Amino acid sequence: GAVVSQHPSWVICKSGTSVKIECRSLDFQATTMFWYRQFPKQSLMLMATSNEGSKATYEQGVEKDKFLINHASLTLSTLTVTSAHPEDSSFYICSAMDRAAGELFFGEGSRLTVL
């Protein structure tokens, strides 16, 4: 089946730095990708919808200047957590839509820890 790759799987950074997380669709083109945030033992909360070649659509309460999303190609979306703080520590998961298959595929997630 289709594969969605996230990188890095784990990242630890100092407070105030920026961290970029990549989400790639490996064997299909994804015009739309979704970014989720998950706190320990909690559900996935949709942060934003990433659209290739256009601005991302953010969910209510998500700071677009804090969580920068770029979807510059049909196989890559990036989430940049700017000026990260400890409260940004979380598990971030992306999903990519394979329109041809009519399916959503999820990445393995990226664990961010801000010290």
Partner 1 sequence: AQSVAQPEDQVNVAEGNPLTVKCTYSVSGNPYLFWYVQYPNRGLQFLLKYITGDNLVKGSYGFEAEFNKSQTSFHLKKPSALVSDSALYFCAVRDASDYKLSFGAGTTVTVRA
Among 46, 72, 101, 115, binds partner 1 (CB under 8 A): 46
Residue 66 tokens, joined: 């804090």
Instruction: Give yes or no for residue 35 binding partner 1 (CB under 8 A).
Output: no
25 sits near partner 1 (criterion: CB under 8 A): no
Q: Is 20 in the site for partner 1 (CB under 8 A)?
A: no
- 3-state class (DSSP) for residue 86: helix
Tell whether omega for the bond before 8 is within 30 degrees of 0, i.e. cis. Answer: yes
Pairing of strands 110-114, 10-13: parallel
Please report, as ranges, the residues that interact with partner 1 according to CB under 8 A. Answer: 6, 32, 34, 41-44, 46, 49, 91, 93, 95, 97, 104-109, 111
